[in-house]
Amino acid sequence: MSKSLQAIRGMNDILPEQTPLWRYFEGTVARLLDNYGYRQIRMPIVEFTELFKRSIGEVTDIVEKEMYTFDDRNGDSLTLRPEGTAACVRAVLEHGITGGGQVQKLWYIGPMFRHERPQKGRYRQFHQIGCEVFNLDGPDIDAELIVLTWRLWGELGIRDAVKLELNSLGTAEARARYRDALVEFLSARLEHLDEDSQRRLKTNPLRVLDTKNPDTQAVLVDAPKLADYLDDESRVHFEGLKARLDAAGIPYVINPKLVRGLDYYSKTVFEWVTDKLGAQGTVCAGGRYDGLVEQMGGKPTPGVGFAMGIERLVLMLEALDKVPEELSRQVDVYLCAFGEAAELAALTLSERVRDQLPNLRLQINAGAGSFKSQFKKADKSGALYALILGDDELAQQVVGFKPLRGQGEQQSIAWDALAAHLATCVVQG
């Protein structure tokens, strides 16, 4: 196939074999968020470029080199959203739903776009589920976000495989004081820093803490610590969060180097990381951004949120063998009809059954075929039972009811009794 007729590198089709697991994951998260009182919001996938520059920060990896930016036909610069928070803040401001201190607990789901080097767990179109909470400034809500993700890991059966890393970045002022101290320290040791870190020192010095370079990491051992620069308010907030996580029995490690790649964070930042996915180990990340709404033209409005990467979590469920058994079966009952008259009867009969059992997963054979080939399809579908409707059955207004998974002999069931019979033997989700 010519390259221009293939999918774009790093942008993947999610095939029918994979969608049951995606839907299971998304459904589990959605139910959990509903239960905690979060409401879904849906934002457009494209926004003005300026929105992301202003919110994420000009000198971040995302804005400097990862955005899909293009000119609209009328000359506006637009960008495929690289993350959800900026658009969510824009939306709540635009609709005035956080005005007057109104609390909003929101969640969103959808594709994000970043021009990164595609590899396992890192794509150019990927998907996130995220939460954003506005107008709650206490550590209790930071804790709730973490507690609900902890519950999610429990429901998915992957708690043992994730670890919570926590840090506090302090207020913008505290961070500015720390930044000055860090710059002074690192500038005196410039020649020991890798090239990337030398550049970051000028543009976004906190990101130097993120470095993977061993020499730079060695220099950082004696660098000033952000924790020593925390303002009292942030310190109290952080202690409050830790106390709540302790009370909830959620283990965590403090990672003083956790700074996150976006400019808008303040106070709490956290990441759920795993060692089951190789280099792409962060499955969920977030933090507090008390200054962001104001920075985007709104009234001062505390905010906190997180986003999780669906691809990485799906990969994890597969790697840890946590794909629920029942996902492999998408059909309960497979109806095989033979001959024109029987096919017609099959249609009306199956519609009657669906009326009575709306959750039944019933598939009718598509197209003609020998008895043998129909049966093969029925078996392959994973269905628990096959229904057989040929001329004989038609004449007697019955169907052959054949268990496909070794649960007993074939029997004859009257059409009128079929729904009731199915209700007793198919457990409906």
Residues making contact with ligand ATP (CB under 6 A): 83, 114, 116, 121-123, 126, 128, 261, 280, 282-285, 307-309, 311-312
CB-nearest residue to ligand ATP? 309
Return the number of the residue (207 or 361) whose C-beta is nearest ligand ATP: 207
Return the number of the residue (315 or 386) whose C-beta is nearest ligand ATP: 315
Return the number of the residue (261 or 369) whose C-beta is nearest ligand ATP: 261
Return the number of the residue (123 or 153) whose C-beta is nearest ligand ATP: 123
Q: What is the 3-state secondary structure (H, E, C) of the chain?
A: CCHHHCCCCCCCCCCCCCHHHHHHHHHHHHHHHHHCCCEECCCCCEEEHHHHHHHHCCCCHHHHHHCEEEECCCCCEEEECCCCHHHHHHHHHHCCCCHHHCCEEEEEEEEEECCCCCECCECCEEEEEEEEEECCCCHHHHHHHHHHHHHHHHHHCCHHHEEEEEEECCCHHHHHHHHHHHHHHHHCCHHHCCHHHHHHHHHCHHHHHHCCCHHHHHHHCCCCCHHHHCCHHHHHHHHHHHHHHHHHCCCCEECCCCCCCCCCCEEEEEEEEECCCCCCCEEEEEEECCCHHHHCCCCCCCEEEEEEEHHHHHHHHHHCCCCCHHHHCCCCEEEEECCHHHHHHHHHHHHHHHHHCCCCCEEECCCCCCHHHHHHHHHHCCCCEEEEECHHHHHHCEEEEEECCCCCCCEEEEHHHHHHHHHHHCCCC
Asked whether the beta carbons of 52 and 77 are under 8 A apart, the reply is no
Least separation in angstroms between residue 284's CB and ligand ATP is 6
Structure tokens of 360?
């039944």
Return the number of the residue (166 or 283) whose C-beta is nearest ligand ATP: 283
Q: Cα separations (Å) of 319 from 56, 158, 312, 351, 361?
A: 32, 10, 10, 40, 29
Return the number of the residue (126 or 229) whose C-beta is nearest ligand ATP: 126
Return the number of the residue (61 or 290) whose C-beta is nearest ligand ATP: 61
Return the number of the residue (229 or 272) whose C-beta is nearest ligand ATP: 272
Least separation in angstroms between residue 126's CB and ligand ATP is 3
Least separation in angstroms between residue 68's CB and ligand ATP is 12
* Distance, C-alpha 253 to centroid of its chain: 23
Return the number of the residue (11 or 368) whose C-beta is nearest ligand ATP: 11
Least separation in angstroms between residue 179's CB and ligand ATP is 20
Least separation in angstroms between residue 64's CB and ligand ATP is 13
Least separation in angstroms between residue 286's CB and ligand ATP is 7
Least separation in angstroms between residue 262's CB and ligand ATP is 6
Least separation in angstroms between residue 318's CB and ligand ATP is 15
Distance CA 309, CA 127 (A): 6
Least separation in angstroms between residue 335's CB and ligand ATP is 41
Return the number of the residue (165 or 194) whose C-beta is nearest ligand ATP: 165
Least separation in angstroms between residue 375's CB and ligand ATP is 42
